[in-house]
Amino acid sequence: MAETFAPLEGVQVAHTLSTSIPGTERKGRPVEFGLAEKEHLLDLIANGAGNDKACREVGICRATLYRTLSRDPAFSEAYDAAKRGAVDAIVDHCEELAERALHAQTGAEVAGIALAIKFGMWRAGRIAPRRWGDRADVHITTTVSMDETEMAKRVAFLEALRGSSSE
């Protein structure tokens, strides 16, 4: 279907609409994906693949994934369960790596395993930050300096407060 758009005066622009007419094909990225693709994507996510990798393998863009998650509550719930499964799989793999490190023969092998464990825990923290993310541990230390005159004024003020509260 060709339309003439007013701002382009006289220029014909081909504009293809997605229809349900057999034989017509929509060009460009898929707007939705079918049940088989959804199941394949959920399987990839549950096995630890990130959104980018899973979407590439299924043949959709991330925007399609996020749009489907916002529009399909059942799929969104299954996606969340797959993410939780991915975290469990990642942590289990890290535990296996730690056991393997106990039997490592060289320091380089131990260092490689330690790096893989650290990366796995970082990924788990990105997927489930409340459970596996870094905890902020904040300590604040301050130093106040003042001359003796100011110190005497403050001590007198505090003693006056203590004296008035005991009456």
> pLDDT by residue (tens digit) across 38-93?
999 999 999 888 899 999 999 999 999 999 999 999 999 999 999 998 999 899 99
CA distance 75 to 47: 17
Residue type, 35: L
Question: Which is more confidently placed, 41 or 33?
Answer: 41
Residue 139's pLDDT band, with cuts at 50, 70 and 90, is confident
Kindly state the DSSP code that residue 104 receives in the 8-state scheme.
Answer: -
Nearest to 112 by CA among 124, 125, 100: 100
Position 31 scores a pLDDT of: 63
| 94-107 mean pLDDT | 91
Question: Which is more confidently placed, 104 or 6?
Answer: 104
CA distance 152 to 155: 5
Q: What is the residue whose two structure tokens read 């870094």? A: 134
Position 23 scores a pLDDT of: 54
| 31-39 mean pLDDT | 84
Angle (nearest 5°) at CA 86 between 107 and 131: 80
CA distance 65 to 31: 9
- The pLDDT mean for the chain works out to 80
Position 141 scores a pLDDT of: 84
CATH code given to domain 2-135:
1.10.10.60
Position 140 scores a pLDDT of: 83
Residue 162's pLDDT band, with cuts at 50, 70 and 90, is confident
Kindly state the DSSP code that residue 14 receives in the 8-state scheme.
Answer: E
Residue 21's pLDDT band, with cuts at 50, 70 and 90, is very low
Position 79 scores a pLDDT of: 94
pLDDT of residue 8 exceeding 70: no
Are residues 24 and 60 in contact, defined by beta-carbon separation less than 8 angstroms?
Answer: no
CA distance 127 to 121: 10
Nearest to 30 by CA among 2, 13, 55: 55
Angle (nearest 5°) at CA 163 between 162 and 167: 115
pLDDT digits over 60-73, tens only?
999 999 999 999 99
The Cβ of residue 42 has, within 10 Å, a number of other Cβ atoms equal to 19
pTM for this predicted structure: 0.55
